[in-house]
Amino acid sequence: MTFHERMITLDRRWIFLTLAVFVIIPFFLEFDIPVTVSKEVRDIYDFIEGLEAGDYILVGIDYDPNAMAELHPMSYAIIKQCFAKKLKVITLTLSQYGAGMAEQVVRDVADSTRIYHGFEPVYGEDYVFLGYRPYYAFVILGMGRDFRIPFPQDYYGTDLDSLPMMRGIRNYDQVECVIDMNGGTVADAWVSYGNGRYNVKLAFGLTGVMAADFYPFYQSGQIFGLMGGMKGAAEYEQLVDKPGPAKEAMKMQVFAHIVIIVFIGMANIGFFLGRRSRTKAGEVL
């Protein structure tokens, strides 16, 4: 077997092993990857920074555990910023596996806000978690009329009208914007029904797989900001000046991408060398 044949017939398990090694190595190395903040991420940050204390914001945590690595850091960073700005945060999940994670994010950030900002967000007064309801399209449409239609009670079974911060709020008209962290098809529904039907100001935090598909909505102004994958999360962590897991993960991303580029290069070199040798063999024959 020639060298170029070996390159294109390399057992994929060697690729997996190499990738694993190069993802693990940076865990034990101390270095920093500079993160450049893109406009679509900064737009979200600037919008939230421009809000007044007491303004309402709705944060959707619409992802399953399989998107946790990418979207959890975004959720933490966004809610941290909201609490630091003393905004009233309404959280919900339209993903059937999202309720536990959403509750975890809100609880953790509330705890850390007490520690780092000396201000303790109070459940029901500063934030509320509505929980999960099925059929996201109808939930989004229902909230446009009244939050109480899809969510007569919050996640813990308390009537919404019993919660002080929900007494003054009826529908999207009282919400400054919706920031939706999304790992599935709910994002389409937010654009179509949230923005299309009710003109909700909308921004997304999306998994890397989805991000490229949603840039047209950003360019058309249907969404005002977009965080794509772990890079977007790292950018936001940098903006809120709280480097976290996403910023840390950029080290592994860089190493992994170099490995993948090298393997793609090797395979292409092998392919073109093989084609040249076959062409030459054809000429000889």
Partner 1 sequence: MATGNGNRKSPSNAVKIILVIVAVVFLISWISKATTGMADSTWLNIRDGFLITFAAFLTLSIFSFLYNDNPFYKFAEHLYVGVSAAYWMCLGFWSIIVGNFVPHASKTLSTFFKVPFQEYSWFYYVAFAFGVILLMRLLPKAGWIARWPLAVIIGTTAGFNLSRYLHSDFMSQVGNTFQPLFVDWQGAGHFFSNLSLAADGQLVMSAGNWIVVVGVLCGLVYFFFSKEHKGMFGAASRLGIWILMITFGASFGYTVMGRISLLVGRITFLFDDWLSIL
Q: Which residues bind partner 1 (CB under 8 A)?
A: 13, 16, 19-20, 23-24, 27, 39, 66, 68-70, 96-97, 132-134, 137, 152-153, 157, 159, 188-189, 191-193, 195-196, 207-213, 216-217, 219-222, 228-231, 245, 249, 252-253, 256-257, 260
CB 87 within 8 A of CB 54: yes
Pick from 175, 174, 236, 172: which is nearest to 204 by CA? 236
CB 181 within 8 A of CB 71: yes
Q: What is the number of other CB atoms lying within 10 angstroms of the CB of residue 20?
A: 12
Beta carbon nearer to partner 1, 259 or 273: 259
The distance of closest approach from Cβ of residue 145 to partner 1 in the complex, given in angstroms and rounded to an integer, is 15
The distance of closest approach from Cβ of residue 62 to partner 1 in the complex, given in angstroms and rounded to an integer, is 15
The distance of closest approach from Cβ of residue 72 to partner 1 in the complex, given in angstroms and rounded to an integer, is 8
Beta carbon nearer to partner 1, 252 or 266: 252
The distance of closest approach from Cβ of residue 233 to partner 1 in the complex, given in angstroms and rounded to an integer, is 9
Structure tokens at 199: 């003109």
Q: What gap in Å lies between CA 62 and CA 187, rounded to an integer?
A: 9
Beta carbon nearer to partner 1, 21 or 122: 21
Q: What gap in Å lies between CA 144 and CA 140, rounded to an integer?
A: 7
The distance of closest approach from Cβ of residue 126 to partner 1 in the complex, given in angstroms and rounded to an integer, is 24
Please enumerate, as own/partner, the contacts of 163-170 that have beta carbons within 8 Å and a separation of 24 or more.
163/124, 163/125, 163/128, 164/124, 164/125, 165/56, 165/88, 165/124, 165/125, 165/126, 165/127, 165/128, 166/90, 166/124, 166/128, 169/56, 169/90, 170/146
CB 130 within 8 A of CB 159: no
The distance of closest approach from Cβ of residue 201 to partner 1 in the complex, given in angstroms and rounded to an integer, is 15
The distance of closest approach from Cβ of residue 280 to partner 1 in the complex, given in angstroms and rounded to an integer, is 29
Close Cβ partners of 34 (under 8 Å, ≥ 6 residues apart): none
Beta carbon nearer to partner 1, 40 or 126: 40
